[in-house]
Structure 1
């Protein structure tokens, strides 16, 4: 018997894989039947996708309005939006449940599993499986400041509790999640303040960050601002922070916390953890306890769904006696604003960097006059042609970066891309940039 704790991308996919390999698998999902799919489906990727689809319609409408093509922006029924999100997420959860059961997996819903070493307790009933995979995911990181528990303070986990679109909202956080929700609220019609403890999107490539900030030009950004409290008596009414040593305060109708994720390991004991509560694993996803594996957000950053899925599969292969290790090099990532801001980089980025504005194409044509067609950037070794970094901002930036990264991981270099035949029209500047890099590096190496 193999027990998997957690029905998100890491746990569920691993469970299905092992069941199809002929193993008897039990999956424990604390969130009930509607909880299968984990953070990605209910509070992360799919939530952002649903909201961003609506936000982009309004943002694109604003571009056409500025061109005199549309007379007004579409109105948003926020209550219908929230209800619609829940309906679609429910349908996806139903499909995942059926797929999992069809694989022959026993699912235990609505029960919180407590893990003590290799022993799993459900309703104080202990059992010790042959192998155990812990994939309990993550939860929002909540700053410990006064007023944080006031009504009107929300996270991605409580988004559905927002009664109406806030007139003015303050987003707390400085990373990708904060940027995505700031864009969503801005595009839906809220006035947005964003409070970032350090530099906003500080880990993004500077050109990618510059392009992203143009999508967020309607927000008021407070960088290097340390959150000290939420003001209000019966509900949140302001956010207090310290900027350059001076106290400041911004008024708001609601606060949205997007300051990162924390591993959900509070019910795990007898297994070695890190300083933030993350379960420590090796490249085979093995924990400090023999026969116990962990995968996904509970093992710490980068907290990305494709990484969680792959970690789950690595754990599953090792459980099945097929030795393999997780590879974290050149992982593509994406941020959804007006466009998809996607990137992947090797640890070594010492080559030559080239960049171009995005071309006109589907989703960017009407943004040409404003010079907001996105961008593409490439870093490559001029001698070998090896690609070290990819950055792209485009309507399909995530797809472009994902397939390009895979080709790079297979050893394809800039010269090999000369044989690449792209689809046209497409708002993809990366393929032509890579071909240009091949020509340029070829000329330079001949002289």
Structure 2
């Protein structure tokens, strides 16, 4: 019979070494809990190996190529731009390699976390098998993430489709690349490969890209992709795949050398023994949790993509911290329901809170500033974009959309504003550095303040105040 992993129950058993698991394990260990983290492949998760880090490194190379080609508009001629895909891949690998030590087992062990490479599965409400050895736990955290979906299109498996997990294995730049899916990942990778030199066709079943985002923002991204040479096939889905040929629902066909699928992700819950632990799934296949990230088993919490909540690394990190502190300290902390999000296309699309399209239905105010009026955008010749603030009746910022260069950086201030209930006056009354793309949010806030100051009631109050001051001046003159 296998020997137990530990003699005593561990305080927190963490299953999964991605962002949620790493943050959860670090949090628990820092609180003095005996923590065991189990990862069957490599610590760091999707973000490090197949998500945030490699994708942004690829986007950096693609942006450099696009900027070089477009430098002539600023009076700088570069000549023909060539892309060495082998060196691009080396840059991507170098970025991963530079960041990997922070998430490596050695760093975790140094923080007081025991790391076990292998699989874990529950055998009961407070027991599990870890790498074939039994372990008892006082609390457990499920952080197994999510995997890319491959749609049930006839013949697709034979085409060897790429996903966001496997696209990094490409050794040559595809001459013709078809991307299925017009969400953030599909748009980012589609634009990147087009800028690097692939002939890209993006197929999206909806009539527009980036479905959850502001329609005007999505339209600007679509226009940008077309300028970069991406052919958009909107409002049509893939129906059948033959070698090198995708048949669409509208009867047309698209030839390809490689097919990249980006139509969503599904939580990884297989082979975890969740039924033995009494852990229930929700209707979408994610681990069901309450607001504190506790599951139907009071000893077990879940965090990150496996919960089916927004698939963002920053959400996973926050989840890991909240779930681990609740599990170890018996707290009832809840997760922040307002989640910022950024699509890293060019232009970037950054959003948080109530979208402008819904604001007017709810009686809210939208203040929008076009970037054509922003001095930094004019100076750089990149004026396609806008900033919108959504304000409630008390003039608090409850939502925002920013479209343009470095929009994600601007979103940090707006995320704080939404979380802390800051008003347009708070933003307008704060001195901001000039000139920046941030000027747009200040201008939007100022527009709201000035509109309110120009209201009849305020103007009437100012007239009364001036009359009182004049009367006081007259009395002083006597």
Asked if Structure 1 and Structure 2 have the same fold, meaning a TM-score greater than 0.5 normalized by the shorter chain, the answer is: yes
Shift of 1:362: 6.2
2:193 aligns with one of 185, 208, 222? 185
Equivalence for 2:381:
367
1:210 aligns with 2:219: yes
* Aligned match for 1:47, one of 38, 54, 60: 54
Find the counterpart in structure 2 of residue 410 from structure 1: 420
Tell me the equivalent position of 2:313: 305
CA gap 1:211/1:72 in 2 versus in 1, 3 angstroms: same
Whole-Å separation in 2 of the counterparts to 1:261 and 1:364: 39
Select which of 367, 371, 381 maps to 1:354. Answer: 367
CA distance in 2, matches of 1:59, 1:27: 42
Task: Report the secondary structure of 1:75's partner residue.
Answer: coil
Distance in 2 between residues matched to 1:117 and 1:48, nearest whole Å: 39
- The residue that corresponds to 1:137 in the other structure is 145
Deviation at 1:423, TM superposition (A): 1.5
**3-state SS of paired residue (2:166):** helix
Deviation of 1:54 after TM superposition, in Å, equals 0.9
Aligned position for 2:475: none
The answer to whether the aligner puts 1:398 opposite 2:411 as a matched pair is no
Match of 1:342 in 2: 350
Contact kept, 8 Å, 1:63 with 1:367, in 2: the verdict is no
More displaced, 277-286 or 415-424? 415-424
Spell out, residue by residue over 1:360-416, the C-alpha distance to the aligned partner (whole angstroms, 9 max, x if none): 566873425xx43x22111213x4112222111232211211222112211211011
Measured at CA, do residues 68 and 419 of structure 1 come closer, stay the same or move farther in structure 2, by a change above 3 Å? closer
TM-score by length of 1: 0.91
Superimposed CA distance per residue, residues 38-59 of structure 1 (whole angstroms, 9 cap, x where no aligned partner): 1111111112210111111122
Point out where structure 2 has 5 or more consecutive residues left out of the alignment: 1-9, 460-478
Distance in 2 between the 1:223 and 1:263 partners?
A: 27
The runs of 4+ residues in structure 1 deviating greater than 4 Å are 359-364
Tell me, yes or no, if the aligned pair for 2:38 and 2:115 is still in contact at 8 Å.
yes
How many Å separate the matches in 2 of 1:431 and 1:88?
35
C-alpha displacement of 1:430: 1.5
C-alpha separation between the residues in 2 aligned to 1:116 and 1:174? 41
TM-score in terms of structure 2 length: 0.85
Partner SS for 1:166? coil
Shift of 1:74: 3.0
Residue in structure 2 matched with residue 439 of structure 1 by the alignment: 450
- Unaligned 5+ residue runs, structure 1? none
Contact 2:322 2:335 in 1 (8 A): no
**Contact in 1 for aligned 2:69/2:81 (Cα 8 Å):** no
Return the offset for 1:272: 0.7
SS at the partner of 1:320?
A: helix
1:231 alignment partner, one of 216, 238, 242 = 242
Per-residue deviation, residues 156-185 of structure 1 (Å, max 9, x unmatched): 111122121111111001211111111111
Q: Alpha-carbon deviation of 1:101?
A: 2.0
1:278 aligned counterpart, secondary structure: coil
Cα 1:54/1:95, change in 2 over 3 Å: same
For residues 36-81 of structure 1, the C-alpha deviation after alignment (integer angstroms, 9 at most, x for no partner) is: 2211111111122101111111222232135552243532211222
Whether contact under 8 Å (1:310, 1:326) holds in the other structure is no
Name the SS for the 2:237 alignment partner.
Answer: strand
CA distance in 2, matches of 1:75, 1:400: 33
For the pair 1:221 / 2:254, whether they are aligned, the reply is no
- Once residues 333 and 115 of structure 2 are traced to their aligned partners in structure 1, the CA distance between those partners, rounded to angstroms, is 28
Larger relative helix fraction = 2
1:87 positional shift? 2.8
Q: CA separation of 1:301/1:73 partners in 2, compared to 1, >3 Å: closer, same or farther?
A: farther
Question: Contact between 2:387 and 2:441, CA under 8 Å: does it hold in 1?
Answer: yes
Q: CA deviation at 1:92?
A: 1.3
- Kept in 1: contact 2:54–2:93 (CA 8 A): no
Contact 1:415–1:438 under 8 Å retained in 2: yes
Larger radius of gyration: 2
